[in-house]
């Protein structure tokens, strides 16, 4: 795999990021920035029920393991991530590089119940994340999250482990 430049000009070595858990933090994604990564923490992850929606028939590179401070909630058949309050708890997921991600966003937005024209009435919202495995390597990714207040009002079950795969344990 080759190195790629990130939006801030740094060089990104995919091997270095894949071998360690990247820490993800919310960050604004400016206009004109091409985002080719998406963070998944539930049914879109490899081996989960809706992974095929993410791949759209393509073979994707191995994902980067990520951790983000937040709360993982269960709707029963699928999870929701909230990052509103600093909890000190980490939620675990995967980050995928998808070169044609812009072309797939409308489909993924629809699956996630996100309407970019009316985010206030959407179940989820799409936010930007900065992923960093070390100070020299940063990449930008999209992630779908819910408002913590919404999760509490909906009386969702909190997944204490922060891992959708460990939700039953």
Mean pLDDT of all residues in 18-38: 80
Which residues, other chains included, contact 65 with Cβ-Cβ below 8 Å and sequence gap of 6+? 18, 20, 21, 22, 92, 93, 94, 95
- When the pLDDT of each residue in the chain is averaged and rounded to a whole number, the result is 83
pLDDT value at residue 32: 80
The phi-psi region of residue 83 (left if phi > 0; otherwise alpha if psi is between -120 and 50; otherwise beta) is alpha
Contact, 169 vs 161, CB < 8 A? yes
Contact, 18 vs 95, CB < 8 A? no
CA distance 88 to 155: 21
pLDDT value at residue 9: 34
Which CATH number among 3.10.490.10, 3.30.420.40, 3.40.50.10860, 3.90.1150.10 corresponds to the domain 4-166? 3.10.490.10
**Structure tokens that stand for 131 in this block:** 């992923």
* pLDDT tens track for 87-125: 778 999 999 999 889 889 999 999 999 999 998 888 899
């Amino acid at each position: 795999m080759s190195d790629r430049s990130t939006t801030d000009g740094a060089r990104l070595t995919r091997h270095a990021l894949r071998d360690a858990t990247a820490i993800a933090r919310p960050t604004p994604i400016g206009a004109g920035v091409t985002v080719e990564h998406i963070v998944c923490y539930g049914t879109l992850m490899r081996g989960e029920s809706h992974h095929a929606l993410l791949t759209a028939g393509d073979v994707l590179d191995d994902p980067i393991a990520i951790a983000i401070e937040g709360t993982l909630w269960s709707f029963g058949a699928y999870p929701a991530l909230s990052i509103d309050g600093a909890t000190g708890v980490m939620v675990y997921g995967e980050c995928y590089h998808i070169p044609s991600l812009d072309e797939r966003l409308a489909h993924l937005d629809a699956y996630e119940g996100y309407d970019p024209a009316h985010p206030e009435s959407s179940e989820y919202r799409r936010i930007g994340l900065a992923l960093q495995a070390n100070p020299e390597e940063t990449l930008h990714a999209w992630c779908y999250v819910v408002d913590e207040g919404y999760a509490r009002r909906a009386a969702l079950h909190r997944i204490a482990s922060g891992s959708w795969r460990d939700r039953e344990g």
